[in-house]
Amino acid sequence: MLTNAEIKRIKSLKEKKFRDEYGQFVVEGEKLVQEALCSGFRVSAVYRTEDIGEEAMSRISQLSSPSPVLAVVDKPEPRGLALERGLYLGLDSVRDPGNMGTIIRLADWFGISTVFASQDSVELFNPKVVQASMGSVFRVSTVYCDLEVVCRRFRAMDMPVYGTFLDGENIYASNLADEGLIIMGNEASGVSPEVAACASSRLLIPSFARGARTAESLNVATATAIVLSEFRRR
């Protein structure tokens, strides 16, 4: 049986300050828990409804409809900025947890091993990020950093830094390398001026809508899928 103290501690992991304090986060659902168990992450505990009961599971679950299994997982040690030649993704102030999780999942699908995120991007182990990633948080390394510094590191290694902009060059007509850093910007304001100044190439996903009225822009996760697909297609 879970004690009230244990329930309180697990529930507290819904908040970032307690995830930071305890160095742990929660994953829920058969698929995500299995992903955690098969990863290199240390799984501290696994709780199943059949063992602890529905009432206890509903108290520790962070979902509106509790799943039959929940695990508490230790956060990994932060990674440094060691760079090898290859294709990377950079996220500039991506704040929406669903977008962040989906982008991590896309990076996993398109073979991007490391994502660099600005310090003000949403935290990787936010419950909604973890759920939206569908397990990709366990395979893609996400490094929180000063994105301007990282951009300069890429330029110093003679690797391109691509940014996505509404005034950029048509991505379908652009020369795209198989290495470098692709920057995706904030949901509302795009790539910040400071990071934009570091870009060596400005890219645009053009609209094919007919007529004057069309969508103002694309969701950042949708745009990321299109951009990564085009890079990998070449």
170: nearest Cα among 219, 215, 222, 226: 226
- Per-residue pLDDT 10s for the chain (234 aa) are 799 999 999 999 999 999 999 999 999 999 999 999 999 999 999 999 999 999 999 999 999 899 999 999 999 988 767 789 999 999 999 999 999 999 999 999 999 999 999 999 999 999 999 999 999 999 999 999 999 999 999 999 999 999 999 899 999 999 999 999 999 999 999 999 999 999 999 999 999 887 766 777 799 999 999 999 999 998
pLDDT in tens, 17-41: 999 999 999 999 999 999 999 999 9
- Residue 196 in tokens: 């934009």
CATH of span 87-233: 3.40.1280.10
Domains in the chain: boundaries: 4-74, 87-233
Asked whether the beta carbons of 110 and 221 are under 8 A apart, the reply is: no
Asked whether the beta carbons of 180 and 228 are under 8 A apart, the reply is: no
Q: Quick one: pLDDT at residue 82?
A: 75
Q: How many CB atoms lie within 10 A of CB 67?
A: 19
Asked whether the beta carbons of 46 and 18 are under 8 A apart, the reply is: no
H or E element, residue 218: none
| Residue 30: φ, ψ to 5° | -55, -45
Same fold, 4-74 and 87-233: no
- Partnered with residue 142 across adjacent β-strands are 115
pLDDT in tens, 196-216: 999 999 999 999 887 766 777
Q: Quick one: pLDDT at residue 213?
A: 67
Sequence-ordered strand ranges (E) for 49-193? 69-74, 87-91, 114-118, 141-145, 161-170, 180-184
- Residue 28 in tokens: 């829920």
Q: Quick one: pLDDT at residue 186?
A: 95
Residue 198 burial class via C-beta count within 10 angstroms: exposed 0-12, middle 13-18, buried 19 and up: buried
Residue 86 burial class via C-beta count within 10 angstroms: exposed 0-12, middle 13-18, buried 19 and up: middle
User: Rounded distance, CA 164 to CA 203, Å?
Assistant: 5
Q: Quick one: pLDDT at residue 212?
A: 63
CATH of 4-74, one of 3.30.230.80, 3.40.50.2300, 3.30.1330.30, 3.40.50.300: 3.30.1330.30
* Residue 190 DSSP code: B
- Residue 230 in tokens: 């085009």
* Residue 137 DSSP code: G
Range 39-42, long-range pairs (CB < 8 A, 24+ positions): 39/138, 39/139, 40/76, 40/138, 41/73, 41/74, 41/76, 41/138, 42/73, 42/74
